[in-house]
Amino acid sequence: MPAYEIHYTRHDMDVTCKAIKYAHDSAGALDCLCSGNKKRGYSLKKTGVLVKIVKINELKQSQN
């Protein structure tokens, strides 16, 4: 299962935060982190803080 790195900003903090979530696609990874949608906005599931999604990157797995 691929890993996704989600960069987001919170209205109560000045820095850009990031989280790594494992899901089948980027929408599933975003659903693991927060609730809501693009039109209404997103809030973190754990705390309910409003967030703005900056970018979502798929992390590449290294070959050993």
pLDDT of 13-60, one tens digit each? Answer: 889 999 999 999 999 999 999 999 989 999 999 999 999 999 999 998
In a domain, 32, yes or no: yes
In a domain, 17, yes or no: yes
In a domain, 39, yes or no: yes
pTM of the model: 0.86
In the chain, the number of structural domains is 1
In a domain, 21, yes or no: yes
In a domain, 46, yes or no: yes
**In terms of residue numbers, what domain contains 29?**
3-59
What's the Cα-to-Cα distance from 55 to each of 9, 23, 27, rounded to whole Å? 10, 16, 12
Contact indicator for 43, 36 with CB cutoff of 8 Å: yes
> What is the distance between the alpha carbons of residues 52 and 36, in angstroms, rounded to a whole number?
11
Give the pairing type, strands 34-37 and 16-22.
unpaired
Contact indicator for 46, 25 with CB cutoff of 8 Å: no
